Structure 1
Amino acid sequence: MNPPDEPPTGLIAGVRAAGREPEPERTGQRWGFGAFLLVEAVFVLTAVFITALARTSGTDIGGSVAFVLVGSILPTVLAATLAVVITRVRGNGPLVDLRLHWNWADVKVGLKLGFLGLVLTYVAALLWSRLVGDQNATSAIGELVDGTALPLGAAIGMFVYVCFLGPVCEELIYRGLLWGAIERQGWSRWAAFVLTTLIFAAGHLEPLRTSLLIVIALPIGIARLITRRLTASVVAHVINNFLPGLMLLLVSLGVVSA
């Protein structure tokens, strides 16, 4: 039998155990769905404001690139920061409320599911591009750098965001704050897994790619499901984004063709 803080040995055993083990107590947590809705509102309103500012500024293509990069990064960072602040003001802080406890066993689970997610993402993207076309399978940032040479600083910033900063922020929001709000209602972890996966995909505000994003999110959500902590899902998300982020970097620098 595994220690309480260790995920069950093996991914299959972990998924099976997810439905049997009791939910963790959330003593002292005074936030719920309202906190998540507030965070999402900040994300959407910030993105809308930056988009409107870019359209009315009359900037050239270089300025437009900067606006799109800022418009992709700033809303997510602000929303994740607000999520952390809410847990400090209305709860026990992010380590407890967002399940940010560090555990090497969780890292191993995240690595396994991250590499599995890479394979799943590659296969799903191939199938998706054949069904809807390459253009519709490309993310908003991917469309930005398609055929466009970015300055070195912008290209590196985009890479860091796609591979590291973005995954951390998104996990804090969806499989941290939203997951915690669902668990606080007494719903099962399976309900949290399904709802956060669907809302995560829709929250990217890319309707044509929502179905593809659901597939991509499955291994990341499973990492959170079986470990009950955020470390595994963060690691899985980073691994899943690394190769696409690296390809975007190489394309944006003109090293490889799109």
Structure 2
Amino acid sequence: MVQAGQRWGFGAFLLVEAVFILSAVFITAAARTSGTDIGSSVSFVLIGSMVPTVLAAAVAVTITYVRGNGPFQDLRLAWDWADVKVGLKLGVFGLVLTYAAAVVWSKVVGDTNATSAISELVDGAGLPLAAAVVMFLYVCFLGPVCEEVIYRGLLWGAIERQRWSRWAAFVLTTLIFAASHLEPLRTSLLIVIAVPIGIARLITRRLTASVVAHVINNFLPGLTLLLVSIGVMPA
């Protein structure tokens, strides 16, 4: 449902995606120019993984203030305990679905490719405890919130502004969310991961449920990254 006073659409989403990509490129270029070993720099792991997504989400929120009614109204961030319950249920379902899909996917693609870009960075950097905890908090909480603001918040709202159906918004945001991670080998797996999260947004019509589902879905992977990075679990 389009909010009265909403004056942003696909252009806003494209701007946010440009901020995400350009900031990632800038950080990588700056690291290489300074001679930083990208594969083993703790600072690069943290900055390169977190800053582009957080910055893009901040721009998305700013757009809703400048061109709309603010994030709570435009991005449907209204709090409702019923939405939290829906998010929890779909998040747990998503964990089971993701595990099953990952098992199948790893057999098809191969174990050597069964890691995300972030997990590869963490494995290569050997993060100290403080950095590992920061990465855990980002993967489990901050990252999901930022991604939901961008995709099932700003992009979903832009699609609805075109008077397309909620199902169209669900399908497009799921596909674009998966593709935007820029991990071609894992795109099919990311689509599976995104489905329960998108369903949470679809059936509640608010962002809170999808944020909760996303947090739950990321918890075990985030915990695994933490334990691997501090040496409790083998890589």
Q: TM-score range by the shorter chain?
A: over 0.9
Aligned residue for 1:146, secondary structure, equals helix
- Cα distance between partner residues in 1 of 2:27 and 2:53: 12
- Does residue 227 of structure 2 align to residue 214 of structure 1? no
Change (3 A) 1:228 1:64: same
Q: What do the CA deviations read for 1:126-169 (whole angstroms, capped 9, x no partner)?
A: 11111111232210111122265311111011101100000000
TM-score w.r.t. structure 1 length?
0.88
Q: What do the CA deviations read for 1:74-132 (whole angstroms, capped 9, x no partner)?
A: 00000000100000010011010000000000000000000000001111111111111
- Give the conservation status (yes or no) of the 8 Å contact 2:45–2:122: no
Amino acid at match of 2:29: A
- Give the conservation status (yes or no) of the 8 Å contact 2:31–2:38: no
Gaps of 5+ in 1: 1-23
- Give the conservation status (yes or no) of the 8 Å contact 1:54–1:67: yes
- Does residue 231 of structure 2 align to residue 254 of structure 1? yes
Amino acid at match of 1:190: W
Residue of structure 2 equivalent to 1:3: none
Residue of structure 2 equivalent to 1:96: 73
Residue of structure 1 equivalent to 2:140: 163
Q: What do the CA deviations read for 1:3-38 (whole angstroms, capped 9, x no partner)?
A: xxxxxxxxxxxxxxxxxxxxx342110000000000
Residue of structure 2 equivalent to 1:43: 20
- Cα distance between partner residues in 2 of 1:188 and 1:160: 34
TM-score w.r.t. structure 2 length?
0.97
Aligned residue for 2:145, secondary structure, equals helix
Shift of residue 64, structure 1, vs aligned partner: 2.2
Residue of structure 2 equivalent to 1:124: 101
- Does residue 150 of structure 2 align to residue 173 of structure 1? yes
Residue of structure 2 equivalent to 1:202: 179
- Give the conservation status (yes or no) of the 8 Å contact 1:54–1:64: no
Amino acid at match of 1:97: D
Among residues 110, 115, 118, which one is paired with 1:141 in the alignment? 118
Change (3 A) 1:155 1:82: same
Amino acid at match of 1:75: P
Amino acid at match of 2:222: G
Large movers: runs of 4+ above 4 Å: 60-63
CA RMSD in angstroms, aligned pairs only: 1.3
Identity, % of aligned positions = 82
Residue of structure 2 equivalent to 1:240: 217
- Does residue 111 of structure 2 align to residue 111 of structure 1? no
- Cα distance between partner residues in 1 of 2:12 and 2:39: 36
Shift of residue 57, structure 1, vs aligned partner: 1.8
Change (3 A) 1:243 1:55: same
Amino acid at match of 1:232: A
